[in-house]
Structure 1
Amino acid sequence: MATFAIGEIPNYFNMEFFKRALENGLRMGDLKILGISIENLTMGGENYCSNIFRATIKYKTSEDQQTEQTIIIKNMPKQKQSVLSRLNIYRKETIFYLDIKPKMEALMWYLDKPWSLAARHFHSTTEPEQNIMFEDLSMLGFMLESRQVGLDLAHAQIVMEKLGEYHALTMLMAERSPAIIIDHFTFGLLNKDSIKKEAFKALFGAQLLKLATLVAEYPTMAPISKKLLKYYDHFTERVLESVYPLRGNVNVLNHGDLWVNNMFFKYDCNPTKFKAPSEVRFIDFQLCYYGSIGFDINYFLNTSVQLDVLKNHRGSLIETYYDGLVRTLKALPYNNPIPKFTDILEEIAQRESFGFFVAFGFFPLMSMFTMDSQDNSLEKFYDEEFARRKIELMFQSNPRTMETLKYSLQRFDELKVLD
């Protein structure tokens, strides 16, 4: 008999639902479900596109062996689907996990080392709602780091190395199977339709104006404040210019949402004593798009690393990324010329304006303390009063936010991004 934890759990999460998920994910038949325990992991300020559940399923195999399996269910209820329908997030992520991820992990056999990019896919459904089910990485010893604190150098290095490897694999697959990599992933979260909407400017433009007001309080940053106000006067055009054209000279399948909450880390020893991770896996491939490598790198650096890392180790992190990219391309049967380091630097430089948008548009929301963001949701941000109150909190909730933005704005100004 199923026992449900407290929370808004779909009533179709029943024996038959999980029997199909396990039989598909474990490649086994004739399973008998003995019991189900479900925990609602959905948190405001953490999960914007979906609801997250953890199910622990006790079952018996056809050989009469009793065991259990824990899986994560990514549930996209109809109210969230209506807001995000144009992004095709379910279709993109399902294609990624079924058609792309297995090929990537098989290709890494060329490097003669065990390599996994993400959690194992178990099952997907479209009715009565969209659901994608995965293995629970926490059961394998993986854990999240704090979005409020950001990643230190050791964590950032392992992410950049993995990103370089992942990007290299997508370059090969785009060469060999363009219909899978290129044709299905033509736009991301920031696309022409969303950027041109009044609601987009109402929210993100208001954040920019708030930031301009705050930095004006620092005498040395008054000129930057004026430039932010000029940016706002041509807001839609400037944001579009930061994103389009998507293609550069070195193109990959960008993850599209590479920030702290979409990375799970594993440690060889007690992480409270020694914080260097031994492995990282990425999650949430629902916003992937094919375009310049500069997008993922600028997104990650402007949302996820600690200020000291951003100030003092940006160059070395890009070198780590490049080492992972080139090492993987050389090991693979990749036929095109391997990009030079200067090519990568140029791609990143050409997308600094995208990094600026991410810095003022996404980072303040991502770094909010839990007590200030626990009631955040996509639907609520359509309410003007709610959005106004949250914009006030975004820049005040966490001291790290303004400290990082002051440094980043000065850097963007030196690079002429704000002109």
Structure 2
Amino acid sequence: MLGDIDDIGSVPKSLLHRSVVKLTGRTSVQLLDEIEVQRATEGVEGFTSIVLKVRVPYRFDDQEETRWVTFFVKRLPVDEYQLGLVVPAQFFLREGTYMEKFLPEMIDVSQGKVAVPIPVCYAATYGGLDDAIVLQDLGIEGYRTPSRNYQSSGLDLEHCEVAMEALGRLHALSIAAEKAMLSRTNQGWLDAFPVFSRDSLWYEPKADDPKPFFEDYMKGMSSTILTLAKEIDGLPTDPTTMETLEKVLRGMVPTLCHLLKPNPGGRNVVSHGDCWLSNMMFRYEKDEIGVERPTDAKLVDFQITRYCHPCVDLIYFLSLSTSKSLRGKHLDKLISDYYKSTVDCLNTLGLGSPPWSLDEFKEDFFGPYLMYGVILRTMFFPMLLLGDDFTPSDAECFSREKLLEFVQTGNANTILNRFRNDTNFRRQISDVVIDFVSVALSGPISLAEVNNN
């Protein structure tokens, strides 16, 4: 029963009723009392939201038969500290707007010819303290998140190819839907959905702005990177080098703020924003010898969606979901796969090619936006590589202590301890830090440099 889940909150029954009505297409729906609620996912679930699997019994007014449907429901966290982080960042306002208002625009423009790579949203309430989003249970259709082992090893080429195809469709539908809205209302996405005009994570605060979500994290990680750089054999540690590295690290946040703004050349889409393997669900089919192969992907968790250059999503995915080796061998192919998917989708809808060529896209990707990948790998890959030390498989273990360590220090003590005692962890983190130092010494990351490019 809903009332028995005090530690994970409740789900408004009115929202579930709206969801069943939308699912069935019938208003004569009566919800029954035996609603079943359980936690839906493992690991980081419970950090910026609570994800529930809700099994709802119902019947139609003119029938006695009891029917059941299962939804995924995202709720605000119940912990006061988490609420103090999540509410000012407007995560639910952003995702609720995306799911309830933007997603229908993409569904309409798809004309049933292009599969929308997002779960169905049945109902949402957002912008208050009772926020909840009711979503399709993708598991019923055979979708699941990839193995947690991929967080350390990176996805294989097959998963990446499927991800690029899905991401191309997502961006193409954003382009198509914006064209349709412009012709209908003379409004673009930022006019229609002003919540997308300000980034939820990366901004330089003004007097009345809330403290940026990752402010303390970035300071803690910057200190950790400097410490690691001093302990890796072969890296220079003279005062001039360390001063340069500190300058580069201080420039990371303003650089992110700049790169994540709408592209001034007009090469923009409503992006996912947090596009990495844990926010993708794959469907698998067995081949002729019984080996499971990924055949399709859907994206979930749109809490930091933003209007920006499409390179941002690609670089985010490739930086945090693939190995350096795979990128070295297949990066050009994967970019081309993504672009082909975008073109195919737009052609299917009779809209021609994207408003930028493949060569122009690559020029942006390997130009100023590539710096985005360097920053992401440096600041976030060490935390992701912690695995169970950060996101335990038992979600109940994601304690207030772990949350505070992450937000306030960037897991500094845990990262340093693993680095000094785990050979494999040390090797992978060393690669990241060496790459960062190489970029920093060849040309410091700064807002001025990005603007010049």
Matched, 1:18 2:10: no
1: distance between equivalents of 2:13 and 2:354?
Answer: 52
2: distance between equivalents of 1:399 and 1:119?
Answer: 40
TM-score where L is the length of structure 2:
0.79
Matched, 1:68 2:68: yes
My pick for the range that moved more, 298-307 or 209-218, is 209-218
User: 2:90 touches 2:200 (CA, 8 Å); kept in 1?
Assistant: no
Deviations 1:237-265 (A, max 9, x none): 33212431523332211211001111000
Deviation (angstroms), 1:365: 2.2
Q: Taking structure 1 as reference, are residues 39 and 116 closer, same or farther at Cα in structure 2, changes over 3 Å only? A: same
Q: What's the RMSD between the two structures over aligned residues?
A: 3.6
Match of 2:395 in 1: none
Superposition pairs for residues 257-406 of structure 1, below 5 Å?
A: 257-269=274-286, 273-334=290-351, 338-349=355-366, 350-374=368-392, 375=398, 380-381=404-405, 387-392=411-416, 403-406=427-430
My pick for the range that moved more, 67-76 or 226-235, is 226-235
Deviation (angstroms), 1:410: 5.1
Q: Tell me the SS of whatever aligns to 2:251.
A: helix
Q: Tell me the SS of whatever aligns to 1:290.
A: strand
Matched, 1:181 2:181: no
Q: Taking structure 1 as reference, are residues 405 and 389 closer, same or farther at Cα in structure 2, changes over 3 Å only? A: closer
Match of 1:247 in 2: 262
2: distance between equivalents of 1:144 and 1:311?
Answer: 25
2: distance between equivalents of 1:401 and 1:46?
Answer: 24
User: 1:262 touches 1:284 (CA, 8 Å); kept in 2?
Assistant: yes
User: 1:199 touches 1:382 (CA, 8 Å); kept in 2?
Assistant: no
Corresponding residue to 1:90 among 86, 89, 92: 92
Q: Taking structure 1 as reference, are residues 174 and 214 closer, same or farther at Cα in structure 2, changes over 3 Å only? A: same
Match of 1:37 in 2: 36
User: 1:239 touches 1:354 (CA, 8 Å); kept in 2?
Assistant: no
Q: Taking structure 1 as reference, are residues 140 and 180 closer, same or farther at Cα in structure 2, changes over 3 Å only? A: farther
User: 2:30 touches 2:60 (CA, 8 Å); kept in 1?
Assistant: yes
User: 2:216 touches 2:409 (CA, 8 Å); kept in 1?
Assistant: no
Corresponding residue to 1:190 among 198, 201, 206: 201
Instruction: Give structure 1 stretches of 5+ with no counterpart.
Output: none
Match of 1:108 in 2: 110
Q: Tell me the SS of whatever aligns to 1:129.
A: coil
Q: Tell me the SS of whatever aligns to 1:48.
A: coil
Q: Taking structure 1 as reference, are residues 275 and 336 closer, same or farther at Cα in structure 2, changes over 3 Å only? A: closer
Deviation (angstroms), 1:368: 2.2
Match of 1:28 in 2: 26
2: distance between equivalents of 1:149 and 1:218?
Answer: 21
Matched, 1:157 2:161: yes
Deviations 1:90-128 (A, max 9, x none): 222222122222332343348x45x13211111112466
Deviation (angstroms), 1:165: 1.9
Match of 2:51 in 1: 52
Deviations 1:159-211 (A, max 9, x none): 11211221122223333436462233113343224699598454223323323
User: 1:265 touches 1:280 (CA, 8 Å); kept in 2?
Assistant: yes
User: 1:242 touches 1:351 (CA, 8 Å); kept in 2?
Assistant: no
User: 1:148 touches 1:398 (CA, 8 Å); kept in 2?
Assistant: no
Instruction: Give structure 2 stretches of 5+ with no counterpart.
Output: 393-397, 446-453
User: 1:194 touches 1:200 (CA, 8 Å); kept in 2?
Assistant: no
Number of aligned residue pairs: give it.
415
Specify the code of the residue in structure 2 equivalent to 1:247. Answer: P
2: distance between equivalents of 1:4 and 1:395?
Answer: 44
